[in-house]
Structure 1
Amino acid sequence: MKKTALAVLFGLALSLYAGCAGAIEGETVFFKSKQAQSAVLTIHAATDLAAMTPLVLDFQKTAPGVSVEFSDYVTNDLFREAELACSKGSGPGDILLSSSVDQLVKLANDGCALRHISTDRTSAPVWANWREEVYGFTFEPAVFVYDSTKVPLQDVPHTHDELADLLRREPEVYRGRIGTYDIAASGVGYLLAFNDARQAPTIYGRLLESFSRAQAVKRCCNAEVLGELAAGNIRIAYNILGSYAYAAYLKNPKLRIVVPRDYALILSRGVMIPTTTANRELAARFLDYLLSERGQRVAREQAFFFSEKAPLPDGVDGPEALMESGVGRPIRIGPALLAAQDQILRERFITDWASLIAKPSN
């Protein structure tokens, strides 16, 4: 689909979001049912509301009597609330969505997830389904985003090594102009950094050293890093999820997206039904919708833009076949992610990261 059509769809999603809520209170939005209300589905999500709005509205077309209460969180806050609800045996959420799939796996491993054999579970790749308790429903590469009016073509990095070299070669130009996550505050930032370190430890070490030299700007989440880019405060953003990057590009065509050609971490945003749900059947119905051909089409065309089974979206610089070429490295949803949530390992990793990235440049 062409960029202009996608931009119209994205703008429509935002306008529908602005008008769909019967009530808005803080980070909670209420999508009123299309017909007389028969049920309310409560979604607690660390997922961009603008991206989820087309999916929620389309789901309501299949369930016109269902209202949806959508509460948006940062990943760590959602995880803490879900842990507390599980320990108490009661909680407000019927379904949980999060980009920090390691946190969902930890919840499932602790007995906080219901098993649901989805009618459309074959839509999820084998690496994005753990025990029918945590499913991945998106395909999102971690990308570089840059301001094309501030970064000349000869400086555009296409690999992790090239990014590290650029920051070493042009320290004055990019000092304070490279942005990434504060992994202590961002669950998905931590997950991506943890997998970077496993995927390419030498390159990752060079990147951290380069970030330190360049006095990298650290923010809590995708939206804040992209906000710094849009405001002109930084020139390059690192490890941004492709869905957020492409949505930003649709609103701001001076932004450009690069899928790194040496390796690209692939995240599949997770969904699970907590044991504390009050609407198990309705939650299962929404999960099935997310994995269905219809839901996947809406996600690809209006919400998350990337797909394992489709070429890269228009305007994205990267390899033609991410998975077939071996460039795409999926973050598998499964027990290996429990290592990322081991408290001692996590604290040590974040401490080491903070120490390396904060070293004064020579």
Structure 2
Amino acid sequence: MMRRLALLLALGLAVPAIAEEMTRFPASEHERTTLTIRAAADLDAMAPLIRDYQLLYPDVTVVYHEYITADLFGEVAAACAAGRSTSAADVVISSSVDHLVKLANDGCARSHRSIETARQPDWAAWRNEVFGFTTEPAVIAYRPDLVPREDLPRSRVELVDLLRRKPAAYAGHIGSYDITLSGIGYLFAVYDARAAATYGRLVEAFGRANLRVRCCTGDLIADLAAGRIVIGYNLLGSYVYGAMRRGARLGVVVPRDYTLVLSRAALVPVTARAVGDAFAFVDYLLSERGQRVSREEAFFFDRTGPLPPGVDGPPSLSAAGAFRPITVGPVLLAVQDRAKRARFLAEWRQSIGAEAPRGDRRGEEP
């Protein structure tokens, strides 16, 4: 315990962060218990799942705290190190799956086995403690009215070529995550670097094009909607498609060379109080019913089914060998290595050649 506390102090994680937003979903019947969820996931996406869960468990009040990923990780790690259950999470959800794997590896997660957990593919769960429940691609988002059809990049090679052929047209109008701030942006960048020889050329092309970097998916979507950028790289497909469904003037491309796919994950921390209800919520997320609600109302993509209407891409995420899932497991511990992270970020900063604007820190990332 003391060793873990010392590590947290060294990482600057000893003091819990404050949740960005809290929303209460009251029980529709006499309240039996309260389930506290602390998550780095947009409320708009999680609300349909929470409300459907409450149809099965109408005596459960759900209190949902929304964080950015780094703050969520810091708070849960500090609570685990201190053995603190007061105001603790019953369920933790994050798109920065490497954070959850680190928590589990440090003994901060409860083990859970059920019919639903046994159904998960190997790449989407680890040690019966961390469970991926979504299938979310990293996509290229664009403004259909500002990017001519003949310019639309459908792969990373095509994007590099576009920036080489038309530098004046796109300089200052390409956006992506500031990976020094965004946990999901950093994760995608690391896997890009592992997945393809094009990564170095892509980052250099971004540097020449004066890449606009932001902390969060919501900020990048807002920049696209306002026309400040016209192409966004590696954005979370679920959030972009959700904005499209709400009327934003956006287009989505699932890259055809390869598609990085994130499985947003959940764990039940050792400090949880409503343990049985927490396990029931995890089982709901993994169940056929929960997956249907997720696909239709929350996160929109799945591994084997067709892409959502209006998305430009292969027939499905798993088509043509382009499916590259980010495996939930110990391989993600290397992503948390401080020395490797520092080197990777230094190289990225040098290639991009500009300090990132910090923007608004609301939303899912970093």
Paired position in structure 2 for 1:347: 342
Per the TM alignment, residue 255 of structure 1 is displaced from its structure 2 partner at its CA by: 0.9
Q: Does 1:190 align with 2:186?
A: yes
- AA aligned opposite 2:257: D
Paired position in structure 1 for 2:43: 49
1:85 aligned residue (74, 79, 83): 79
Secondary structure of 1:164's aligned partner: helix
2:307 aligned residue (291, 302, 312): 312
Secondary structure of 1:274's aligned partner: coil
Q: TM-score, normalised by structure 2?
A: 0.89
2:104 touches 2:129 (CA, 8 Å); kept in 1? Answer: yes
1:54 touches 1:298 (CA, 8 Å); kept in 2? Answer: yes
- AA aligned opposite 1:65: D
1:1-362 aligned at under 5 Å gives the runs 27-91=21-85, 92-200=88-196, 202-252=197-247, 254-358=249-353
- AA aligned opposite 1:173: A
| In 1: Cα distance, 2:238 partner to 2:324 partner | 17
Q: How much is the aligned-residue C-alpha RMSD, in angstroms? A: 1.4
| In 1: Cα distance, 2:162 partner to 2:300 partner | 29
Per the TM alignment, residue 358 of structure 1 is displaced from its structure 2 partner at its CA by: 1.0
| In 1: Cα distance, 2:106 partner to 2:191 partner | 22
Per the TM alignment, residue 90 of structure 1 is displaced from its structure 2 partner at its CA by: 1.3
1:118 touches 1:287 (CA, 8 Å); kept in 2? Answer: no
Give deviations 1:136-190, integer Å, cap 9, x for gaps.
0000111000000100001100001111111121111111111100111111111
| In 2: Cα distance, 1:321 partner to 1:242 partner | 13
1:123 touches 1:293 (CA, 8 Å); kept in 2? Answer: no
Secondary structure of 2:301's aligned partner: coil
Per the TM alignment, residue 271 of structure 1 is displaced from its structure 2 partner at its CA by: 0.4
Q: TM-score, normalised by structure 1?
A: 0.90
How many residues align structurally? 335
Query: Which consecutive unaligned segments of at least 5 residues does structure 2 have?
Result: 1-18, 356-366
Give deviations 1:290-329, integer Å, cap 9, x for gaps.
0011100000000000011311011011111332421010
Percent identical pairs in the alignment equals 51
2:225 touches 2:248 (CA, 8 Å); kept in 1? Answer: no
Per the TM alignment, residue 253 of structure 1 is displaced from its structure 2 partner at its CA by: 5.2
Per the TM alignment, residue 26 of structure 1 is displaced from its structure 2 partner at its CA by: 5.2
Query: Which deviates more from structure 2 when the two are superposed, residues 273-282 or residues 315-324?
Result: 315-324
Give deviations 1:255-292, integer Å, cap 9, x for gaps.
11000000000110010011111111111010000001
| In 1: Cα distance, 2:120 partner to 2:201 partner | 34
| In 1: Cα distance, 2:120 partner to 2:44 partner | 23
